[in-house]
A = this chain, B = another copy of it.
Amino acid sequence: MLYHYYRGASMQQTARKEMDERKGGRNSQLVFEVLAGSDRPMTAYQLLAVLRGQGLKAPLQVYRALDQLIDEGLVHKIESLSAFALCTHCEAASHEGAAFTICVKCGRTEEIHDTALGRLLGRLACKQGFRTTSTTVELSGVCEACSNG
| A142 close to B (CB within 8 Å) | yes
Which of the 9-residue segments A21-29, A58-66, A114-122 touches chain B?
A: A114-122
Across the interface, A79 reaches (CB within 8 A) one of B125, B134, B138, B141, namely B138
Q: Do B142 and A131 touch (CB < 8 A)?
A: yes
Q: Do B141 and A133 touch (CB < 8 A)?
A: yes
Q: Do B124 and A135 touch (CB < 8 A)?
A: no
Nearest-CB residue, chain B, relative to A79: B79
Copy total for this chain: 2
**Cβ distance A140 to chain B, nearest Cβ, rounded Å:** 5
Contact-size category for A = 20 to 34
Nearest-CB residue, chain B, relative to A80: B79
Q: In the docked arrangement, what's the CA distance between A40 and B84, Å? A: 27
Q: Which of A108-148 contact B (CB under 8 A)?
A: 110, 112, 114, 116-117, 120-121, 124-125, 128-144, 147
| Contact surface of A with B, Cβ cutoff 8 Å | 79-80, 99, 101, 103-104, 110, 112, 114, 116-117, 120-121, 124-125, 128-144, 147
